[in-house]
Amino acid sequence: MHYSRRTEEAYVHWCRAYIRFHGLRHPRDMGAPQLDAFLAWLATERKVSAATYRQALSALLFLYTKVLQMDVPWLAGASRPQTPRRLPVVLTREQVQAILTQLAGTWRVFAQLLYGTGMRLSEALQLRVKDVDFVHQTLVVREGKGGKDRALMLPQSLAPALRTQLDHAHALWQADAQAGCAGVEMPDALARKYPRAGASWAWFWVFPQATHAMDPRSGEVRRHHVFDQTFQRTFKRAVAMAGVTSQVTPHTLRHCFATHLLQAGYDIRTVQELLGHADVSTTMIYTHVLKVGGGAVRSPLDALAT
């Protein structure tokens, strides 16, 4: 059904947890009481967040309706708690620069790409050579969140470092071609439609892994893109070395991208398009810094000081 591998892994995890919670009973033999007991355990004992609760419920709904093909109105009607909207952590430009300074080589280029374009981590990891256009200074995100494509600016200051990164990737691609290794993973059914495309330079990763790994779907040994956990660990160390005490993750760079654009006076609709948000209300959350930190509202305490 074209779900991402992460979604598959999450759904399998919750289906296993549900079955094990009820002593390895088959889901066909369970109904509303067992579901309510499991969800109540998640909420009261495990104290999972609203987002985790909704994910577990979605996994069980998928299990019953798509896998077992059972009519389960009691499951479809289960309550779904609303995920509370949290204000994103936004760093100053000086803090972003301090973190980038602690990174080197490929990881610095990767972090600059996240901050300079607002890409999600997964979108940057899956960037292909063919989607980098130096002539038109454009980067294309293929099948982003919601399966949508979008075009982004290629930061001029990043172009030289990105060319160097492509030279490094090209050396790995040549080594794979000479060794007769399997090509990179292809989306959907393109591997069958274009059997040789996976081994072409155009479809190669911009940020390839240094070593080969087994494809979890096909079992073939091929070169994957760099692993997200590897960058996350490296980024966490850079944040600590930069002396930034905020709760920062690689996704924070996307928040900084949006907020800093709004602070620079760009239209919120433009920022919405760059981020790939379906609704402008999602983008509106980044205006909190403009309302408070930007000086739009003056504290009465400051008036006393004058």
Q: How many CB atoms lie under 10 A from the CB of residue 165?
A: 21
193 is catalytic: no
Annotated active-site residue 148? The verdict is no
The active-site residue, picked from 54, 130, 251, 288, is 251
Give the angle subtended at the CA of 181 by the CAs of 165 and 8, to the nearest 5°: 80
What angle do the packed helices 93-101 and 228-241 form, to 10 degrees? 110
- The CA distance from 86 to 89, in Å, is 9
> Among the options 108, 254, 255, 260, which is catalytic?
254
Among 286, 288, 291, 298, which one carries the catalytic annotation?
A: 286
Q: Return d(Cα 279, Cα 139) in angstroms, integer.
A: 22
The residue annotated as part of the active site, out of 53, 64, 120, 223, is 120
- 6 in catalytic set: no
User: Does 145 participate in catalysis according to the annotation?
Assistant: yes
CA angle (64 as vertex; 63, 66 as ends), nearest 5: 70
Choose the catalytic residue: 145, 150, 170, 224.
145
CA pseudo-torsion sign 225, 115, 10, 72: negative
Q: Is 120 a catalytic residue?
A: yes
| Residue of 235, 244, 245, 208 whose CA lies nearest to 223 | 208
Helices (H), the chain: 5-21, 32-41, 50-62, 73-76, 93-101, 105-117, 121-125, 159-179, 190-193, 228-241, 250-263, 268-275, 280-283, 288-291, 300-305
Q: Is 142 a catalytic residue?
A: no
CA distance 42 to 108: 39
Are 106 and 165 a contacting pair, CB within 8 Å?
yes
Task: Give the catalytic positions in this structure.
Answer: 120, 145, 251, 254, 277, 286
